[in-house]
Structures are given as C-alpha cells and as structure tokens.
Amino acid sequence: MPYVLRRLFATLLVYSCPNNPKELWLKFEYAMSEDIIRSNTLTSRQVRMQVLEQINGFLQSMGKDINAFDLVPRDLVFANLENQTREIRAERTIVITQEDLHAILMLNDK
C-alpha cells in the first residue's frame, strides 16, 4: 500500500497542484514509508531519501522533477536517477550481443 501512496502522491502533485505540497508530504510521510521501514534496517534519513527518490522517479516519468514542489533542498540530487526517465534507464540496460550486431549484415540490401 505505501508504494501505491507514493505513486498517488506524485500523481496528485502533477495533476492536482495542491496548495501546500510540503504539508501534504509531512502529513503522510510515515504512511508512504511504512514498507521501506519494515523491510530494511535503514536510518530515518535513509528511509526518507529512498521514499523521495521513488517519488522523484514517478514525477520524472510524468515529465516533472521533485525540486519543482519544494519538498527537498534545491541542491539535492539523486545520483542514480541521472535526471532521466525510468524508460530511458531501462533501455540503456539492454545488452546487445555480438550475434545481434552481426545480424545487421544479414539484412537485405533493398
């Protein structure tokens, strides 16, 4: 359920434009973090960062960035996100084998 709440939160930020996103974040931060708290032995700061990183991933897939909503300090950068959408990151992880590269030579000339 917390995963769904994080996705809903990102969707609300993008399409509903709440008056005070930070207040909404503070009110529901624990509910959006419960699964990560239970499944890891992370500090509260690490949990918060992981939750915000996921929310930022959802926002980026919708063409937005977490910094636009003043939820985090402006200088905060999620290193593993590389400011790219999830789809682009997924495409970059595809392994192209030598067999695939040689298949190009087998195509018809026309």
In sequence order, what are the residues at sequence separation of 6 or more whose Cβ sits closer than 8 angstroms to the Cβ of residue 83?
Answer: 60, 65
Whether 2 and 50 have beta carbons less than 8 Å apart is answered as: no
In sequence order, what are the residues at sequence separation of 6 or more whose Cβ sits closer than 8 angstroms to the Cβ of residue 46?
Answer: 40
- Tokens read off for 61: 């897939």
Radius of gyration of the chain (CA): 19
Q: Residue 103 pLDDT more than 80? A: yes
Share of the chain above pLDDT 90, in %: 39
Q: Which residue has the tokens 């974040």?
A: 25
Type of residue at 69: F
Owning domain of residue 83: 2-106
Q: Residue 80 pLDDT more than 60? A: no
pTM of full prediction above 0.75: no
Domain count, the chain: 1
Which of 20-24, 28-32, 71-75 has the weakest average pLDDT?
71-75
